[in-house]
Amino acid sequence: MNKEDLHAEIGRLGPWHHKLHITDDIYTNAGPNSDNTGQKVSMLDPIVMMKDLMQHVLPNGMEGRSFLDCACNAGGYSFAAKDWGASKTMGFDVRQHWIDQAEFVRTHRDAPSDNMAFKQADLLDMSFLEPRYDVTWFSGIFYHLPDPVTVLKNVADRTEELLMLNTAATPCAPDTQEVPALDLKPEGTEQLMSGIYRLAWAPSGPKVLQQILAWAGFPETRLLFWYKNVQRPGANPYGRLALIAARSAGRLDAVPNAEPRDTLHIRDTAD
């Protein structure tokens, strides 16, 4: 495709949630930024999101590791992992909209895309996956699931070394200690950034997730961030956190534990 055709296709495939470079001067910021229901779809840069992980946990890059990207959206984390040296990547999402975007980027970007695969698939049926992946990315999906503990255990069973979990959480008031729990969070299914199951659960914070991960075979974790109360105009407050988990004790000795932050004010939802 020439530049005009690339821009036209980026617009047709919108809205986009991942900012992905196709060429040096063309990236996925064109087209609508709302879905058919009128919900605004925020834009994030997966390279920025992965930067701390690579700096502290994989300072030499992926070094030929395999990478599993659960609920991959447009594949941004898969492309970042590939660019950092992953030998192969597998990304899947339940919505074909995101997989169409990922395949477009894979086909047209000015960077190697060999041994990269994307598939429209449901997290409740992962029979198509290979038995093992070195690194798993589990971002923006835990709080959309009707049985997140079982799903996370199934993902952990397929993960050899590292698992990154990023999720929305129940809001927590300043100076309040977390009481580990999963809180009922029903949601609609029509919005592009929602789940598809209606029944969903939000974690209370890192403590409950650390216990689930330990039970799933990942005893060592580090908190990358925890915003106890995220506030956005026109939306209910929520929490947001990310953890990195390792199967082997001592693997994360060089990774600092982040201090929780009470409040974050943002303009758009970060999923």
For residues 235, 244, 58 and 43, what is the CA-based torsion angle, rounded to 10 degrees?
-10
Higher pLDDT, 267 or 271: 267
In terms of DSSP bridges, do strands 116-120 and 88-93 run parallel, antiparallel, or are they unpaired? Answer: parallel
Least confident of 62-76, 133-147, 181-195: 181-195
Q: Give dist(CA 223, CA 100) in Å, integer.
A: 33
pLDDT at position 71 is 97
Please name the helix (run of DSSP H) or strand (run of DSSP E) that holds residue 138, with its range, or none.
strand 133-139
Say if residue 204's pLDDT is above 90: yes
Q: Return the number of other C-beta atoms located less than 10 Å from residue 100's C-beta.
A: 14
* Domain at 80, CATH number: 3.40.50.150
Say if residue 271's pLDDT is above 60: no
Does residue 52 lie within any of the structural domains?
yes
Does residue 67 lie within any of the structural domains?
yes
Q: Looking at residues 46-63, what average pLDDT do you find?
A: 88
Does residue 21 lie within any of the structural domains?
no
Using an 8 Å Cβ cutoff, are 249 and 62 in contact? no
Does residue 244 lie within any of the structural domains?
yes
> For 226-243, how does the pLDDT look when each residue is reduced to its tens digit (9 = 90+)?
999 887 666 677 899 999
Using an 8 Å Cβ cutoff, are 110 and 24 in contact? yes
**Domain enclosing residue 84, as ranges:** 45-98+116-265
Please provide the average confidence, as pLDDT, over all residues in the chain: 92
> For 144-180, how does the pLDDT look when each residue is reduced to its tens digit (9 = 90+)?
999 999 999 999 999 999 999 999 999 988 888 899 9
Q: What is the pTM of this model?
A: 0.94
Does residue 258 lie within any of the structural domains?
yes
Using an 8 Å Cβ cutoff, are 158 and 126 in contact? yes
Q: Residue 50: pLDDT band by 50, 70, 90 thresholds?
A: confident
Does residue 168 lie within any of the structural domains?
yes
> For 86-106, how does the pLDDT look when each residue is reduced to its tens digit (9 = 90+)?
999 999 999 999 999 999 999
Q: What is the largest CA-CA distance in the chain?
A: 55
Least confident of 102-111, 211-220, 222-231: 222-231
Residue written as tokens 């927590």?
Answer: 172
Does residue 166 lie within any of the structural domains?
yes
> For 23-35, how does the pLDDT look when each residue is reduced to its tens digit (9 = 90+)?
989 999 866 688 8
Please name the helix (run of DSSP H) or strand (run of DSSP E) that holds residue 160, with its range, or none.
strand 159-169
Task: Give the count of domains, the chain.
Answer: 1
Does residue 4 lie within any of the structural domains?
no
